[in-house]
Amino acid sequence: MGCARIFAGTDGIGNELLAFRGRSLHSPHAISGPVTRSHSCTGGAPFGPPSIVRGRRIGAMIVSGQVVFSRACLSAPTLWQTDMSSVKAGFLSSFRRTDSPRRETLRRELARELARDGGAPGTPKLVLASASPRRLTLLAQAGIEPDALRPASIDETARLGEMPRSLAARLARSKAETARDQIANDTDIAGAYILAADTVVSVGRRIFGKPEHIEEAVATLERLSGRSHRVLTGVCLITPDDKVRTKIVSTRVRFKHLAKPEIEAYIASREWRGKAGAYAIQGLAGCFVRKITGSYTNVVGLPLTEVVSLLIGEGFPVHFNWLRAADLDAE
């Protein structure tokens, strides 16, 4: 048997070589003894009998029960750059972790059944990846009631140089995927649609998130005072068969000039807490707005027109709930 260890080294051009227990990691055939490297080769003569590695002939010789490769062989880019780089990637991939569950989930089983049967049995369910009262109210306005809430706790910090649109899209998708993983084995809602959204306020490339303290909220309102800003909401819908649909909706909002006493009074109301841009247009801050260009519900936190279009386009029965509401009123 070969030496019970992993051998790692480099060839003459910096390529890494690996072997384990005397077996080349890129060859199915055992090699007797640990792999080493020759440090000399005279006159360019053949360096011993050829060996076969993945169907290629390379110069090698046996010295004291060890396989020794010539420097010329180890320096051949066509062999080692192609083979050993892929071997290393395959070897290290076994230690790599992923965020998504590797094992089979109930959701995946249901998705396969859906594809095989050509339709979903029963009434489709909806999971909202948020606990926002504003988004729940807006969905109820459209006659949509989520079957479950799965708020996703993620890091909402913008990456270095990230644009507002990219941030809104990334956070919405991340929330939806996190909620999907949470319900993957829930017998009641594993096959549900998943809806997520994230709202970002920006002036140019500068992003105004949810302020964490009073000073930050005051600075944000002072920056928005008397000027226009954009409200961007990223919407992400994941279907029962794990198709991902995303949309970005933009609305331009112009504030009047805010006097210092006005800002102080609004801060004292505490309405700004947990709000992107430090204000809630559906509340007291509605009197700050001079003009809106675009969707009002987008500024509140969920663009209803676009959300309903996404749901209907992916087969969710939005209009069925409308007919149901009419029947209840008739009774």
Q: Tell me how far CA of residue 44 lies from CA of 48, 52, 173, 246, in angstroms.
A: 12, 20, 59, 61
pLDDT of residue 321: 72
pLDDT digits (tens, 9 = 90+) for 240-257: 989 999 999 999 999 999
Q: Reading across the β-sheet that carries 16-20, which strands appear in turn?
A: 6-10, 16-20, 23-24
pLDDT of residue 281: 96
Which of 83, 188, 198, 241 is an active site residue? Answer: 198
pLDDT of residue 79: 43
User: Any residues with CB less than 8 A from the CB of 71 and at least 6 apart, and which?
Assistant: 11, 12, 37, 38, 39, 40, 41
Nearest to residue 138, comparing CAs of 9, 329, 295?
A: 295
Collapsed DSSP state (helix, strand, coil) of residue 318? helix
Nearest to residue 135, comparing CAs of 175, 162, 182?
A: 175
Q: What angle do CA 319, 316, 196 make, to 5 degrees?
A: 115
Domains of the chain (ranges; CATH) run: 6-93 (no CATH), 121-330 (3.90.950.10)
Alpha-carbon gap, residue 26 to 16, rounded angstroms: 12
pLDDT of residue 331: 57
Residue with tokens 């490339």: 205
Alpha-carbon gap, residue 35 to 30, rounded angstroms: 11
Compute the half-sphere exposure of residue 19: CA atoms within 13 Å on the CB side of its CA. Answer: 25
Alpha-carbon gap, residue 58 to 73, rounded angstroms: 6
Alpha-carbon gap, residue 68 to 34, rounded angstroms: 9
pLDDT of residue 328: 57
pLDDT of residue 174: 96
**Containing H/E element for 253?**
strand 244-255
3-state helix, strand, coil in the chain (%, to 5): 35, 25, 40
198 belongs to the catalytic site: yes
Q: Tell me how far CA of residue 296 lies from CA of 228, 233, 311, in angstroms.
A: 15, 12, 20
Per-residue confidence of the chain (331 residues) as pLDDT tens digits? Answer: 444 334 444 444 444 444 444 444 443 333 444 444 433 333 344 434 444 333 343 444 444 444 444 444 444 444 444 455 554 555 454 444 444 445 678 888 877 877 777 655 568 899 999 989 999 999 999 999 999 999 988 999 999 999 999 999 999 999 999 999 999 998 899 989 999 999 999 999 999 999 999 999 999 999 999 999 999 999 999 999 899 999 999 999 999 999 999 999 999 999 999 999 999 999 999 999 999 999 999 999 999 999 999 999 999 988 877 776 666 555 5
Inter-residue contact 15 to 76 (CB < 8 Å): no
Q: pTM score, two decimals?
A: 0.66
Alpha-carbon gap, residue 300 to 176, rounded angstroms: 19
Nearest to residue 22, comparing CAs of 40, 8, 35?
A: 35
pLDDT of residue 325: 63
Q: What is the DSSP string of 257-284?
A: PPPHHHHHHHHHHTTTTT-GGG--TTTG
- Pairing between β-strand 228-238 and β-strand 289-293 as defined by DSSP bridges: unpaired
**Containing H/E element for 236?**
strand 228-238
Collapsed DSSP state (helix, strand, coil) of residue 5? coil
Inter-residue contact 233 to 248 (CB < 8 Å): yes
Alpha-carbon gap, residue 14 to 331, rounded angstroms: 80
pLDDT of residue 322: 77
Alpha-carbon gap, residue 73 to 239, rounded angstroms: 53
Collapsed DSSP state (helix, strand, coil) of residue 61? strand
